[in-house]
A and B are shown apart, each in its own frame.
Chain A
């Protein structure tokens, strides 16, 4: 029964959705303090390569590799974030886009370590490593009536879902906290926020670093889910894709990034039937979207409407009460 329902392909897509949600949140976090960073693909690449190289060459456990990958990306985030504070708006966007491009060129040219444009293969696969651990503990896939590869992908997905729930919970909490209110104040008016005693340097670097850390984390997970990475995975197109997750879904609320990442991952798969044209359709959707609903699919008023509809007993305002869109 369960064995027939679980298609490894669908499980794989679902895993990508989870990773893309982390990426969507990573750009949402920097946007929530009013900074547009297009460098998240670069940070993602740093996380992916760090974790992949550490696990391949030093045989570190994947968990440690992923955490170190995220941390290294976060450190780069601080290093880039502090000077980038002088920039805002379009300038910051282009500078961070440039940072991503520089990172990609380094990956391509630093062949002794990254194997250049060919990419790194043989990255330890998260699912298979988990499977080894579980079978060593005496678990057999037949106990659930599943095939091995179903269990492999299912475990990856479950792990990613748990990670996502924790992350979303954390950032919803953060949005309601002092930090989230500081971000929102800086987004509304930087000078006013500063005059209210908010340390804008600290909070802007914090939000930039959080974005970098998350992107690096997602990149590291991506490396171990794909088991193969190449510089092309972290190029301009990825940067744009990550931006679209948040802008399409709605950049004002965290649910926007989550929805955008989910929808934009499923869309190309759903359009696979007309795969010849799917990226053209993708482009048209973006244009129409901006013309008719530029704030993104999900915004504060839609969330309120949904909340009224389901009359939720939980008091969930997702920390968006402080933000009103203009």
Chain B
């Protein structure tokens, strides 16, 4: 029982981690909270529904379609909502926040308009296949979700630490002006970051569709709020922190549902971060700098 719950928790947590990675990449490079990330995630999930349930195509095409659409959304988000604000005189630090909130309102209501308010089933051919190991039941879907998430995290870590583009991204995150002086094309790096973050959101959307078999226009909001909580938990802009924080939150929520009061599931994330912020404002994995918490 405990082990089964742990597996459920890790499955959920690995999706949370992917969502949080999108937040943390954008925050790390641009220093802003992308409030539209949850809605981009939701659009990714709907693309999954369209491709698999409506068009009846296989799952891998859903992944490709969702990545393509959300990457495009990310590009548009950067061009329309973020770039015009950058480097402009007299722009408060609130402006990009509000701007992305505008995008999130637009996307939520757009999908509400197109798809309707209700739940959409997300069908896949192997949703019911399960493996029995002793007394523990594991669904193939859970393994698949976990493997995809871990693979994504590994690829992202490799890309960030070893490739030239990844180094450019980290340099930009460290200091935009210095990176620019040293010959990094910061404009392109920023665009790439937002696109990758959005595509991660799109993949997470499909994973959630696979895990819960239902997709609705409101799911972006709660996922977005949890993603925010996770990046605080793991340390803002910290990639490893986002992964660990996501897994932790997934397990914690599953345990609350299994052994506590399921009604408080959505509060777990925020009660945790309120304590984290007060005791260790730089996050569980964050570096202790004077900037933390400022």
A residues in contact (CB < 8 Å) with B: 36, 83, 86-91, 93-95, 97-99, 101-102, 105-106, 108-109, 236, 240, 243-244, 247-248, 251, 276-277, 279-280, 282-287, 289-292, 294-295, 325-326
Contacts and interface: CB of A to CB of B under 8 A. Distances in A.
B81 interface: yes
Nearest to B107: A283
B221 interface: yes
B200 to A, nearest CB: 20
B84 A291 contact: yes
B92 A97 contact: no
B294 A88 contact: yes
B285 interface: no
Interface in B227-276: 228-229, 232, 236, 261, 263-264, 266-267, 269-271, 273-274
B85 A290 contact: yes
11 contacts: A89-B294, A90-B236, A98-B273, A102-B274, A106-B267, A279-B109, A282-B102, A283-B106, A290-B98, A291-B99, A294-B91
Interface of B: 33, 80-81, 84-85, 88-99, 101-110, 113, 221, 225, 228-229, 232, 236, 261, 263-264, 266-267, 269-271, 273-274, 277-278, 281, 293-294
Ordered nearest first, which 9 A-B pairs have the shortest CB separation?
A: A286-B102, A283-B106, A98-B270, A283-B105, A290-B99, A109-B263, A105-B267, A291-B84, A287-B102
A281 to B, nearest CB: 9
Contact of B225 (A89, A101, A251, A285): A101
Given A286-B99, A287-B106, A295 B267 contact: no
A287 B103 contact: yes
Given A36-B94, A109-B264, A284-B106, A87 B277 contact: yes
Interface of B is mostly: helix
Contact of A87 (B91, B101, B281): B281
A166 to B, nearest CB: 29
Contacts of B271: 98, 102
Output the residue of A83, A91, A247, A284 with the most chain B CB within 10 A: A91
Given A89-B93, A244-B101, 10 more contacts: A95-B273, A95-B274, A101-B266, A101-B270, A109-B263, A248-B98, A251-B92, A279-B108, A290-B84, A290-B85
A283 B103 contact: yes
A236 B293 CA distance: 23
A311 B131 CA distance: 81
Contacts of A279: 105, 108-109
A186 to B, nearest CB: 14
B293 A86 contact: yes
B239 to A, nearest CB: 18
Contacts of A284: 102, 106
A247 B273 contact: no
Contacts of A102: 267, 270-271, 274
Contacts of B91: 294-295
A91 B293 CA distance: 6
B264 A236 contact: no
Contacts of B281: 86-87, 91
A275 B22 CA distance: 33
Contacts of B225: 97-98, 101, 236
Contacts of A93: 33, 97
Contacts of A244: 98, 101
A313 B278 CA distance: 50
Nearest to A294: B95
